[in-house]
Chains A and B, each alone.
Chain A
Amino acid sequence: MRDGMIESDVLVVGGGLVGLSLGIGLAQGGLDVVVVDREAPASQTLPAFDGRVSAIAHASRQALQALGIWRHLEAAEPILDIRVTDGTSPLFVHYDHREVGAEPFGHMVENRHLRLALQGAVNETPGLRLLAPAAVTVLERRPAAVHARLADGRTVRAALVVGAEGRNSPTREAAGIRTTTWSYGQAGIVCTVGHERPHQGVAQERFLPAGPFAILPMTGSRSSLVWTEREDLAAALLALPEAEFLAELGRRFGDYLGKLEVEGPRWSYPLSFLHAERYIDHRLALAGDAAHGIHPISGQGLNLGLRDVATLVEILVGQARLGLDLGDPLALAAYERWRRVDTFVLGAITDGLNRLFSNDIAPVRLVRDLGLGIVEQLPPLKRVFMRHARGDMGDLPGLLRGEPV
């Protein structure tokens, strides 16, 4: 196929967690899809590539099941309880999944496992072509179609291009879509901790003075940590010898699960907020972190991306079934309208939570204690928070209700 023209309906640039899920969903709806990623698939599933474990909300799991991705997953640990505590304060909020239904809040899934599952699903999806490693060198959005030239000389033609390259999306930048961004001056230290006693499916979110400290249940007697620290401190912590790192960790983790040990490498991710001023342009849509990067405080970044996926699949497959243009500005406007409000609200909530909790000023602490206590006292409000944690708020596209494409 050198020098050949690849004809397709949709070109997805960026084959990460969001881009590949989108490619699979669109292809299942009968569209011809090309996904381009700069990294080779085999390198993306090496143990050192991504150490994160994602909280997959209930609605996102339904989507992954409907897309045939979930059954390729090696392991997933249910989250049965969420406990939110404020530092050393005795007040805490306790979310028990039985208050909103029989299903767990979500599942903890290792990103590496999710990438493997995605690749498994890609291999059994006709109509989807993954070109990786590959790079788009020229992207022209013409009146009637998109033309992309790849570094290896091939050309891809599509009715629509989706930018899913994560936060630094070149597709977004080339389209001149501006972003609102700020850095939290914080980094998220991520590592896996083995413990003596079982976690019993409890996720802990602790608001420590430096920022949130999350203990998330993994399979076996293991938990994944997302430990927020000031950027300079995080770098220093990451460089500590094993025993001292474990001691620092233990001071924050506590001893409720017995003896701890750090398993595997430690990672550090800079934390920032990013929101694109538009999610669409002429024959272009943004999805996942390319459109919105939020603080991982509530573990919702990927969930938002999967909601973009479900919405785009519903709208674009609907267009194709009616023979309508996939780049139709009215269809793209519907996507943006459907997604923007949800994303912005969640972005604002998590940003606000982080600001409120990342300090140790006495009056703020008091408000926080009262605030958390009040949430605990008001069942309806709590149910709203819990539903959001499960990801099933509002008007849902079919995939998020578990309906196949």
Chain B
Amino acid sequence: MSAAAAPSVDPAEVERFARMAEAWWDPLGQFRPLHVLNPVRLGYIREQAIARFGLDPKARRVLDGLSLLDIGCGGGLVAEPLARLGAEVTGIDAAERNIAIARAHAAESGVAVQYRAASAEALAAEGRQFDIVLALEIVEHVADLGAFMDAACALVKPGGLIVLATLNRTPKAFALAIVGAEWVLRWLPRGTHDWRKFVRPSELARELRRSGMALSEVRGVTYSPLADRWSLSGDTAVNYMLAATKPAG
């Protein structure tokens, strides 16, 4: 696990996720909550990309021709659908095992995604840049938020878009994401999250500004138990998504 040497990667976190990775692609298995969450995340990314790049919402391959980086891609749950929408997708993850799983699955479903076991810092050091950079459910796991955000923003092309999804550091988030999701519902293994590492929208906004990015929107993401569905909302107290753009040239 050579990538673990990068400053933002916490080795204990990486190990925990690698253990869970095998069942990643079973929508009815252990990772069901992620699969249920996926449509709202994909919908938000799609909507933000359409607005930013003036795309045709009716086109089946709406993201055709855009390069996209998914940081912390896991088993490829987000990377594969976006590649189906036409994006040229690179998925990176610090855990070799996740990358192996993601590659195996892409081969089976016949979707072209470039997977690499690497950190955001490593890619940024190579000078790589993308039209769209995603950091979903990742900032709450990194060891050094400032270093991570520097790298993530450096990876965005001028005129490009970054989309983040994470958990807010509020009492409500503690009650729902830790007590509710991990202890009571057992959606996630206990210890998946550390509440102290949750990030407030204002903190993310500050990091983005520091890197010269312009915040475009913050939306809450809330779960409706009756419909078993997540949707965008005005309530950012627990889960939220955020989009920002890099000024062109």
Give, as a whole number of angstroms, the nearest-CB distance from B80 to chain A: 7
Tell me the complex Cα distance, A143–B46, Å: 27
Tell me the complex Cα distance, A328–B39, Å: 12
| A376 contacts the other chain (CB 8 A) | no
- Chain B residue at smallest Cβ distance from A319: B39
Report whether A323 and B58 are in contact in the complex, using a CB–CB cutoff of 8 Å. Answer: no
| B43 contacts the other chain (CB 8 A) | yes
Report whether B39 and A324 are in contact in the complex, using a CB–CB cutoff of 8 Å. Answer: yes
Choose among B27, B35, B82, B108 the residue that contacts A323 (Cβ–Cβ < 8 A). B82
Tell me the complex Cα distance, A144–B38, Å: 19
Give, as a whole number of angstroms, the nearest-CB distance from A142 to chain B: 10
Report whether A330 and B109 are in contact in the complex, using a CB–CB cutoff of 8 Å. Answer: no
Give, as a whole number of angstroms, the nearest-CB distance from B87 to chain A: 9
Report whether A324 and B42 are in contact in the complex, using a CB–CB cutoff of 8 Å. Answer: yes
Give, as a whole number of angstroms, the nearest-CB distance from B37 to chain A: 11
| B5 contacts the other chain (CB 8 A) | no
Tell me the complex Cα distance, A180–B38, Å: 36
Report whether B46 and A322 are in contact in the complex, using a CB–CB cutoff of 8 Å. Answer: yes
| B169 contacts the other chain (CB 8 A) | no
Residues of B within 8 A of A330 (CB): 27-28, 32, 35-36
For A295-339 the 0/1 string (1 means CB < 8 A from B) is 000000000000000000000001011111100111000000000
- Give the size of the chain A interface in residues (CB under 8 angstroms): 13
Tell me the complex Cα distance, A24–B228, Å: 29
Residues of B within 8 A of A320 (CB): 60
Choose among B32, B38, B62, B108 the residue that contacts A324 (Cβ–Cβ < 8 A). B38
Report whether B36 and A322 are in contact in the complex, using a CB–CB cutoff of 8 Å. Answer: no
Residues of B within 8 A of A325 (CB): 109
Tell me the complex Cα distance, A381–B39, Å: 38
Report whether A329 and B27 are in contact in the complex, using a CB–CB cutoff of 8 Å. Answer: yes
Choose among B27, B60, B84 the residue that contacts A328 (Cβ–Cβ < 8 A). B27
Report whether B85 and A30 are in contact in the complex, using a CB–CB cutoff of 8 Å. Answer: no
Tell me the complex Cα distance, A322–B46, Å: 7
Choose among A144, A318, A323 the residue that contacts B81 (Cβ–Cβ < 8 A). A323
- Per DSSP, chain A at the interface is loop
Report whether A322 and B27 are in contact in the complex, using a CB–CB cutoff of 8 Å. Answer: no
For B36-72 the 0/1 string (1 means CB < 8 A from A) is 1011001100100000000000111010000000000
Tell me the complex Cα distance, A328–B60, Å: 18
Report whether B60 and A322 are in contact in the complex, using a CB–CB cutoff of 8 Å. Answer: no
Tell me the complex Cα distance, A318–B40, Å: 11
For A212-251 the 0/1 string (1 means CB < 8 A from B) is 0000000000000000000000000000000000000000
Give, as a whole number of angstroms, the nearest-CB distance from A349 to chain B: 25
Residues of B within 8 A of A30 (CB): 58-60
Give, as a whole number of angstroms, the nearest-CB distance from A202 to chain B: 41
Residues of B within 8 A of A143 (CB): 108
Residues of B within 8 A of A318 (CB): 39
Please list the residues of chain B having a beta carbon within 8 angstroms of any beta carbon in chain A. Answer: 27-28, 32, 35-36, 38-39, 42-43, 46, 58-60, 62, 80-85, 108-110
12 new A-B contacts, CB < 8 A, other than A322-B38, A323-B80, are: A144-B110, A318-B39, A320-B60, A322-B46, A322-B85, A323-B42, A323-B83, A325-B109, A328-B27, A329-B27, A330-B27, A330-B28
23 pairs, CB–CB < 8 Å, chain A vs chain B: A30-B58, A30-B59, A30-B60, A143-B108, A144-B109, A318-B39, A320-B60, A321-B46, A322-B42, A322-B43, A322-B46, A322-B85, A323-B81, A323-B82, A323-B84, A323-B85, A324-B42, A324-B81, A328-B27, A330-B27, A330-B28, A330-B32, A330-B36
